[in-house]
Chain A
Amino acid sequence: SQTIHQWPATLVQPVGSPLSLECTVEGTSNPNLYWYRQAAGRGLQLLFYSVGIGQISSEVPQNLSASRPQDRQFILSSKKLLLSDSGFYLCAWSEAYRRPQHFGDGTRLSIL
């Protein structure tokens, strides 16, 4: 069966520091991969999605970036974190276009 791993579960970072969140999927090949952010009291907002290695689409302009160095690895990064980057970040995967998306356990990011 397919599983998705996301880490770390919790992260506290100072303003201006770099960020790297990692997500990996097991049990499937060539999945579609997604990064979402959930601000407090709100629904999820799509940040990035990828349909293959090196293919990244950005949905929201921001100081975050994403990369897909391997088929089942998706990384969310920032060179300098802002206070507004605080939130709950979720990685998700799907088998193909418009198939149901399955989520990881999320990373709670706090910026001080």
Chain B
Amino acid sequence: AQTVTQSQPEMSVQEAETVTLSCTYDTSENNYYLFWYKQPPSRQMILVIRQEAYKQQNATENRFSVNFQKAAKSFSLKISDSQLGDTAMYFCALNSGGGADGLTFGKGTHLIIQP
């Protein structure tokens, strides 16, 4: 079975600061995909960034970047120059395939950006 753990239920930072959200996972697969999704108060799930396990280079998308440590099974999200619109629930998710193609989600981190 695969699991995803987000150990920070809530975080709060000031606007323009940099914040890092933690995520650890467990899977017996060697080839898998990791994602960060954002869920603002509107409840829509928005893909933020993805990382393929066979790629050593960390993914980046504008102000969002990840620190992927495959040996440690760690996948943290860094948000630079945080903005008020970044306030949301952030979910780490794993797709390790096998017989199913669904995502396994962590419980989420509620990120609050303070003005």
Contacts and interface: CB of A to CB of B under 8 A. Distances in A.
Nearest to A92: B45
B106 A34 contact: no
Nearest to B49: A100
Given A59-B100, A98-B33, A98-B101, A42 B107 contact: yes
Interface string B28-41: 00000101010000
Chain A at the B interface: mostly helix, strand, loop or mixed? Answer: strand
Contacts of B44: 103, 105-106
A27 interface: no
Interface in B96-112: 97, 99-108
A79 to B, nearest CB: 24
A43 B105 contact: yes
A44 B91 contact: yes
Contacts of A102: 47
B88 to A, nearest CB: 14
Contact of A46 (B47, B103, B106, B108): B103
B95 interface: yes
Contacts of A21: none
Most buried by A among B91, B100, B101: B101
Contact of B103 (A44, A51, A105, A106): A44
Contacts of A45: 105
Interface of B: 4, 33, 35, 37, 42-47, 50, 91, 93, 95, 97, 99-108
